[in-house]
Structure 1
Amino acid sequence: MKALALLSGGLDSMLAVKTVQEAGIEVEAINFTSPFCRCSGAAGGCGAAASAASQLGIKLHYQGCGEDYLRLVENPPHGYGRRMNPCLDCRIHKFQLAKQKMDEIGASFLVTGEVVDQRPNSQRKDALDIVERDSGLRGYILRPLSAKHLRPTIPEEQGWIDRQRLLDIKGRGRRQQMDLAEGYGLDYPCPAGGCLLTYEEYSQKIKDLIRHNGRLDLRSVNLLRFGRQLRLSPEVKIFIGKDEAENEQLRNLAQPQDYLLEAPDVAGPVTLYVGPRDERLLNLAAAMTAGYASVPPDQSVAVQATSGAERLMLDVQPMPRPEIRNYFIYHVE
């Protein structure tokens, strides 16, 4: 008998796997990556999930959430949480992908670390029922940590797993889970929210993208992780690096039609200009770049703007930072 587990790498998902393993079930795991994961972004895999899989001795599959997932974020059938987080539709989407993986590897049921009433949007009993119904997995989702607060699943009814081995954890507290992890000798990361869509600042940036671009795309969403973000016009947006690591990220993310701006003779940021060429806005972006460079406010400085083979030298006065902040998409620096 084999089960597929959703493995975030956090405490609850690790304990769910361990509980099922202790009942003699073979487990493989799946980890979902998306542009909104705090740990991994759109590419690669989650380090916490890889570490958890290694501790648990299970095979780990990675599954990316792409453009179809962005359509859900734009218009989720079940609505948003407090921010731009479409929690129910996100779970349904991931469970549907997990169902495909179950069929591929020959797993008989799905295991998750969900705990009843731990999260207000997606872990209420009615929300769990909606996810089961709409994912096409009714009866096949085992939640070992809260199983005794839920109706028996098909794995329990069929005798694949003994219900008495399952747990009765409920609510937001983590003491029971921590005690269990200590008993199993598991190392785990500190509990923390993993989705950027639950943060106010990030949600405002997503709303700005939808308002001006009409729809989300992976490149635009991935850029939201970097730099101070400013809207210069409905079509033009800039990203000003906050440190050398972000400067390098912006250099790497620039496409041939974008402009990269920096003052070559002084220490300062790299600015990524995304949108159609506009001389006035390029000069505005250059002044903002100089505003974060090591330049006295009353002294002009040369800022180089590069796009493909084009190189411009723009002589500008640094814009005062209070003025720059008027262009921020979200007014927190």
Structure 2
Amino acid sequence: MTRVLAMVSGGLDSLLAAKLIKEQGIEVIGICFKSYFFSPENAIKMCKQIDMPLEIVDFSEEHFEMVKNPKHGYGKNMNPCIDCHAMMMTYAGELLEKFNADFIITGEVLNQRPMSQNKRSLDLVKKESGFSNKILRPLCAKNIEPTEMELNGLVDREKLLDISGRTRTAQIELAEKWGIVDYPSPAGGCKLTEPNYSIRLEDLMENRKNIEEKDINLLKYGRHFRLSPNAKIVATRTEEETINAKKCITKEDIVFFPAKFAGAMIAIIGNPSKEEIEFAAKVAGRYSKGKNEETLEVKYGHYTKPLQNIITVKPATEEELKQYMINN
């Protein structure tokens, strides 16, 4: 029996591609990738809808090394889509033997994304993967040259599709036909495609040599202010952000809280100077109920230890915040 590996992103297109091949009586195993910038959560939910087993591959460290310097550059933000897709296909190709599978399928659609899914980019991804003769794109197969899988009869080309462009009409109709109702928006879940996140990541890469997973995760929360190469402030906005940010800071980091007013958690990451510590206290004052006070007291100290230091400051002004804010 023919068996294939389906690269599943967690979006609708990749699931439809897998379902289309399953409809031909072919066994399909889902392959999903986990990195610092995207999770397998949506893929897990989606695969259950078509009763498809899923293998999760964590390639976080290697993926981040590629993100630092992608061979084919970035997209609109910090998203190296061509290199990322090629890396995924390489991993999937190396799994063919493990699962005794015949080829790989993806949910890519010709010209759906102008930079990463045009004819040249799709061909380039196949070539860079090292498994170009083992990759089939069922949703747009009739718009491109037949693969060896179609030519040798492993899959029926006549039952494949010719979807092209950015319209989603065909995909939505297929989803309704197959009873697939719970699927995310086409934007996907990759943080690297988000402008604000990309700006923060670029700043982190420019100012820190030894970047850890916690540093990357912290980029998701709060407001960020770059004071110097050695110090950055993170100001949370909600209780949920505070809870999540606390998972990303260490006992080496300094936290600030207004002494007599409710306010956000302020953390300074790195090795701050005396002046930078004072400014962090001013930021804590600004993002508190005491922001309109002439002066206020702010407690601070290393995270996980009692905050025994107190400093009196004037809350930061909007002009001061804008001077250092990485983004909003």
What TM-score results when the alignment is normalised by the length of structure 2?
Answer: 0.93
The one-letter amino acid paired with 2:263 is: G
The match for 1:149 is 143
The one-letter amino acid paired with 1:27 is: V
The match for 1:265 is 260
CA deviations 1:45-71 (Å, max 9, x no partner) are 31x211211111111111223222122
The one-letter amino acid paired with 1:329 is: I
Q: Does 1:221 align with 2:196?
A: no
CA deviations 1:153-206 (Å, max 9, x no partner) are 222122111111101111111101111111111112232243222233222222
Relative to 1, partners in 2 of residues 1:51 and 1:290: Cα closer, same or farther, differing over 3 Å?
Answer: same
Q: Which of these residues, 273, 279, 282, is aligned with residue 277 of structure 2?
A: 282
Q: Does 1:59 align with 2:53?
A: yes
Q: Does 1:71 align with 2:65?
A: yes
How many residues are matched? 324
Give the 3-state SS of the residue equivalent to 1:70 in structure 2: helix
Instruction: Check conservation: 1:263, 1:304, Cα contact below 8 A.
Output: yes
Instruction: Check conservation: 1:297, 1:320, Cα contact below 8 A.
Output: no
- Cα offset for 1:20? 0.3
- Cα offset for 1:277? 4.2
| Structure 2 spans left out of the alignment, 5+ residues | none
- Cα offset for 1:216? 4.7
Structure 1 window deviating more from structure 2 (291-300 vs 147-156): it is 291-300
Instruction: Check conservation: 2:34, 2:60, Cα contact below 8 A.
Output: no
Q: Among the aligned pairs, what percent are the same residue?
A: 37
- Cα offset for 1:215? 6.5
The match for 1:212 is 207
The one-letter amino acid paired with 2:73 is: G
| Structure 1 spans left out of the alignment, 5+ residues | none
What TM-score results when the alignment is normalised by the length of structure 1?
Answer: 0.92
The match for 1:11 is 12
Structure 1 window deviating more from structure 2 (122-131 vs 196-205): it is 196-205
Q: Does 1:322 align with 2:319?
A: yes
Q: Does 1:241 align with 2:236?
A: yes
Query: 1:122-271, aligned counterparts within 5 Å?
Result: 122-187=116-181, 188-214=183-209, 216-271=211-266
Give the 3-state SS of the residue equivalent to 1:88 in structure 2: helix
Partners of 2:71 and 2:286 lie apart in 1 by 43
CA deviations 1:250-306 (Å, max 9, x no partner) are 222221211121124311100121101422211110110110100053332222223
Structure 1 window deviating more from structure 2 (241-250 vs 102-111): it is 102-111
Instruction: Check conservation: 1:297, 1:319, Cα contact below 8 A.
Output: no
Relative to 1, partners in 2 of residues 1:8 and 1:242: Cα closer, same or farther, differing over 3 Å?
Answer: same
Give the 3-state SS of the residue equivalent to 1:106 in structure 2: coil
The one-letter amino acid paired with 2:224 is: Q
Partners of 2:91 and 2:294 lie apart in 1 by 57
Instruction: Check conservation: 1:67, 1:217, Cα contact below 8 A.
Output: no
Partners of 2:219 and 2:159 lie apart in 1 by 44
Q: Which of these residues, 86, 93, 113, is aligned with residue 92 of structure 1?
A: 86
Partners of 1:299 and 1:286 lie apart in 2 by 14
Aligned Cα RMSD in Å?
A: 1.7
